[in-house]
Amino acid sequence: MTAYSVHPGVIKTNLQSGYEGWLGKVMRASVAITPTVSVREGAHTSLYCATSPEAPGRGAGKYFLGPKGKVQPR
């Protein structure tokens, strides 16, 4: 069994629209100024780790960043 640490990237959704107060304002502002990816692109990293035959060899102790399974250097 292999475990992966995955960050899909900042995904452009409307999930932040319902947050009220100062936290909601901060989250909406950060999403507005941060480069975002689509929901489909955000799924690429998780799908890569779940299905790629390359992932187990690259994944030991690594942090996968979205999109497309880039490995974060230590």
Q: How does residue 65 score in pLDDT terms, banded at 50, 70 and 90?
A: confident
Segment 10-31 mean pLDDT: 82
- Say how many C-beta atoms besides its own lie within 10 A of residue 68's C-beta: 13
Q: Is the pLDDT of residue 73 over 70?
A: no
Q: Write down the domain spans for the chain.
A: 5-72
pLDDT band at 72 (very low <50, low <70, confident <90, very high): low
Look up residue 73 and give its amino acid. Answer: P
